[in-house]
Each structure stands twice: as C-alpha cells, then as structure tokens.
Amino acid sequence: MDMTKNKATANTANRLVCQNKKAYHDYEIVEKLEAGIVLVGTEVKSLREGRANLKDSYAKIRKGEVFLYGLHISPYTHASYDNHDPERVRKLLLHNYEIKRLTGRTQERGFSLIPLKIYFSNGRAKVELGLARGKKLFDKRESLKRKEEIREMDRLRKHRRES
C-alpha cells in the first residue's frame, strides 16, 4: 500500500521538460507567472519524452487571449499517421485579470512575453512566462562580468577554506 502512495507522490512533483536558458542572457526578467497550455493529440506524450524546444519562442496577446508562437514539440515517435503539427500556435490558459494586467505591461515600450520553461505540475503541462525587457549588448557583457566575478570570489573562498 505504501508503494502506490510513493508512486502517486512522485508523479505529482514538478518535472521539467525544457528550459529557455538563452532568455536569461538576452532579457531582463521583470516578472514570472505560470500558465496552462492547450495541447492536442500526441503533444502531451512528446512533452513527457522531453521532446520540446523553446528557442526563439514568444507569447502574444490577441483579442483577450494569450498565444504561444515558435514552440517546437517534435512529433510522437510511436504515433500513427495522425500526428500533430510541431510548430502550431498554442493557446495559453490564464485568468482574465492576469491577461488584462499583461496587456497593459506589454504595451509599454520594450516589454515582451517570453516562455522560460515547460514543466508538468500535478500531471498538467505548464509554461512559466516571463515579462521581459530586452538587454542591450553592454548589459549582456556587464551581466557576464558580474557572473564571472561571483564565480571567482566563490573559487577564492573555497580555496581559502581548504588551506
């Protein structure tokens, strides 16, 4: 009886499918929020296999609804002839008050909606959206320098402890 309970809790844990690492380099993330995603056919099975790519994907608000563009979910390998379109536009599920707030924020100059990661939460596919502002080249260089400085300080601190 305990075995089934452990399996059930293992399935409900958040399981990462894919992550948009380049988004943190190219954008300054101002705010994050979770959205559901409408999937059809074999898309869920492909996501469970981890066959998705968030590179160059973005979200837009059209007629009071949020849509995700550029998300590539590879066709399911064990499917029959009736497989899904890998590049189709997918609807995101958000509350109306969230959509209204995002509409106001994205109309400000320089803000975009960027998907940061896709994961499963309680068996449902979720997308973490980031309200982001694009970084300039010097901002990217500055953040890389800052990361390198932190890495160097940690390395020195670790070396000091070992001595």
The count of domains in the chain is 1
pTM exceeds 0.85: no
DSSP 124: E
Rounded CA-CA distance 22/24 in Å is 5
pLDDT of residue 78: 79
CATH code for the domain of 22: 2.40.280.10
Q: Tens place of pLDDT for every residue, the chain, 163 residues?
A: 444 444 544 555 678 888 888 888 888 888 999 999 998 888 888 888 888 888 889 999 999 899 999 988 888 877 777 777 788 899 999 999 999 998 888 887 778 899 999 999 888 999 999 998 887 777 778 888 888 888 988 888 888 777 6
Residue for token pair 């997918």: 90
Whether residue 29 is contained in a domain is answered as yes
Whether residue 71 is contained in a domain is answered as yes
Whether residue 128 is contained in a domain is answered as yes
Domain containing residue 21 = 7-135
pLDDT of residue 90: 92
Whether residue 151 is contained in a domain is answered as no
78 phi-psi bin (left φ>0, alpha ψ -120 to 50, beta other): alpha
Whether residue 156 is contained in a domain is answered as no
Whether residue 58 is contained in a domain is answered as yes
The alpha carbon of 48 is separated from its chain's Cα centroid by a whole number of angstroms, namely: 15
Whether residue 141 is contained in a domain is answered as no
Helix (H, G, I), strand (E, B) or coil at 94: coil
Whether residue 24 is contained in a domain is answered as yes
